Amino acid sequence: MRVGVIGTGYVGLVTGACLAAVGHRVRCMDNDALKIERLRRGVIPIHEPGLEDIVQRTSANGSLEFTADLAEVARGSEIIFITVGTPSRADGSPDLTAVRAVARGIGSHLDGSYRVIVNKSTVPVGSGNWVRMLVEEGARQLEGATVVGAPGVSTAHPVEPAFDVVSNPEFLREGSAVWDTFNPDRIVIGAECEQAVAVMRELYAHWIAPEPLGRALPLVVTDLASAEMIKYAANAFLATKISFVNEMANICERVGADVQQVAEAIGLDKRIGRAFLNAGAGWGGSCFPKDVSALVSTGREYGYECALLKATLSVNEAQKQSVVEKLQRELRILKGRTVAIWGLAFKPHTDDIRCAPALEVAEQLVALGCRVVAHDPVVPSERAREQLPEMQVAADPLAAAAQADALVVMTEWPLYSEIDLSVLRRRLRQPILIDGRNCLDAAAARAAGLTYIGVGRP
């Protein structure tokens, strides 16, 4: 099938490349002309395991192309994905500026052939109807076009936009996005007509037509509003699960229990499950913070206060703050201290630092008068310094720790657990190690002479 993807960010690029890999003809479009130009030369803008290989392979055989021309994609694709960003506004509601621009733009280029317009961006409930309205508005702007039911429009060259809007939320995780795309737990399609569902089934035939002995992938076909809600509910549940275990960790710290053992044991209950029960210095990233806030904001629009979700958010804020409090407990005065931070990405295997807990902690430490020296194996140092110019960035973890009064581990990159803890001890000015991800061996750290402080474990 001919597929257009508008917005070549994380989701757009991964979706486009994976659809091309299963035989579709995909054109990825972005209004960032420089990004498109670099992608055409094979330069991948994100660190995502396996992505470069697929992009190179599918570009080479012509099934994946890049363009900065929206018209080309809108006119030449049977299915048009919207995958632009939907960041948070200051009040927590999502900023839909890019979705609005793209939906209107698509409308202005429709030529009367049937199209399925797919919302893959995470957008609030009701956005399916809203996108339909915007596409129709865009079509009305087309010179000489007429939209059925739109009064006072010229009919010189009538073009009736024939399209349906579908919600197809994305559940991939950064760092394992390619694997997740090929191995999803379910595909959700929210639609209001059979024709659109049939097109989506054909698009995802590779996934939903199981091998003779393969596992049948659940395909959830539902209405638009439920599909939109499924995406928010999934992220809100996962974020709440982590905030829950973090609250358990805080109680464990006070009573002397070990949250890791608690998580293992409760996770054995199939109704609970072990995943997303790793206590730590708070969750971050480009989606959990914005999506939980957006859901709270939707509730508010309807006069409903989301008490549980607000607690999920506030436990998370406190969790990041607790790193600073632990440093204050150990060092007393923070002014004039040097604190090393290992890991800036919001989680391992990605270079994404959007809403990264590490940066928030670094920012607070700088505000409290500390000198902060950070290390991350993949986040480019210029990008980190752009976010926080006062922060120094070291080329290797031991250089970051040199003469530091304390070390804080904020991202559980595998290389950190391979570092010789006795060497680390000698590098630090004071032997304080705050393991914000419970990723280091506590006993080995103590044996090396470090004061080890994890999250919710003795």
Ligand X SMILES: O=C(O)[C@H]1O[C@H](OP(=O)(O)OP(=O)(O)OC[C@H]2O[C@@H](n3ccc(=O)[nH]c3=O)[C@H](O)[C@@H]2O)[C@H](O)[C@@H](O)[C@@H]1O
Binding residues for NAD(+): 30, 35, 86, 122, 174, 290, 354
Q: Is 8 in the site for ligand NAI (CB under 6 A)?
A: yes
Q: Is 172 near ligand X (CB under 6 A)?
A: yes
> Which of 50, 171, 331, 392 touches ligand X (CB under 6 A)?
171
Sheet with strand 64-67: strands edge to edge: 64-67, 25-29, 2-6, 79-82, 115-119, 163-167, 187-190, 219-222
In whole angstroms, the minimum distance from the beta carbon of 356 to ligand X comes to: 7
- 246 sits near ligand NAI (criterion: CB under 6 A): no
Q: Rounded to an integer, what distance in angstroms lies between the CA atom of residue 411 and that of residue 396?
A: 14
Could you list the residues known to form a binding site for substrate, using ranges.
Answer: 171-174, 231, 276-280, 284, 347
**How far apart are alpha carbons 289 and 369 in whole angstroms?**
27
* Site string (136-175) toward ligand NAI, x via CB under 6 A: ----------------------------------x-x-x-
| Tokens 């008068």 found at | 369
Residue 146 contacts which entry, ligand X, ligand NAI, none (Cβ below 5-8 A, type-dependent): none
342 binds, among ligand X, ligand NAI, none (CB under 5 to 8 A by kind): none
- Helix H or strand E segment including 25: strand 25-29
For ligand X, the binding residue among 14, 21, 197, 287 (CB under 6 A) is 287
- Determine, following the binding rule CB under 6 A, whether residue 276 of this chain makes contact with ligand X: yes
| Residue nearest ligand NAI, CB atom distance | 9
Among 5, 11, 142, 453, binds ligand NAI (CB under 6 A): 11
Q: Classify 115 as helix, strand or coil.
A: strand
Q: Which stretch binds ligand X (CB under 6 A): 62-70, 171-179, 216-224, 449-457?
A: 171-179
Identify whether 193 is a catalytic site residue.
no
Q: Tell me the angle at which helices 307-331 and 357-367 cross, rounded to the nearest 10 degrees.
A: 50
Rounded Cα distance, 122 and 297, in Å: 14
**Residue 133 tokens, joined:** 């309205």
According to the binding rule CB under 6 A, does residue 277 interact with ligand X?
yes
Of 188 and 424, nearer to ligand NAI (C-beta) is 188
Q: Convert residues 247-286 into a mask of x (bound to ligand NAI by CB under 6 A) and - (unbound).
A: ---------------------------------------x
- Smallest gap, in angstroms, from Cβ of residue 451 to ligand NAI? 36
Burial of 329 (0-12, 13-18, 19+ CB in 10 A): exposed
Cα gap 201→222, rounded to integer Å:
13
In the numeric block, which tokens belong to residue 425?
A: 């001890």
Question: Restricting to residues 35-94, which ones interact with ligand NAI according to CB under 6 A?
Answer: 35, 83-86
CB 147 within 8 A of CB 161: yes
Instruction: Please report, as a single letter, which amino acid is at residue 39.
Output: L
Query: With the C-alpha atoms ordered 332, 336, 340, 345, is the resulting torsion angle positive or negative?
Result: positive
Tell which residue, 272, 309, 326, has the closest CA to residue 434: 326
Q: Which two tokens stand for residue 330?
A: 């150990």
Choosing from 27, 104, 320, 347, the residue that interacts with ligand X (CB under 6 A) is 347
Q: 385 in helix, strand or coil?
A: helix
- Catalytic entry in 18, 287, 370, 439: 287
Residues of span 181-220 touching ligand NAI by CB under 6 A = none
Q: What are the structure tokens assigned to 42, written together?
A: 């094979």
302 vs 310: CA distance, rounded Å? 16
Which residue's CB is nearer to ligand X, number 242 or number 421? 242
Show which residues are catalytic.
Answer: 287
Residues at the contact surface with ligand NAI, assessed by CB under 6 A: 6-12, 29-32, 35, 83-86, 98, 101-102, 121-122, 170, 172, 174, 286-287
Residues at the contact surface with ligand X, assessed by CB under 6 A: 122, 170-174, 235, 238, 242, 276-278, 280, 283-285, 287-288, 346-347
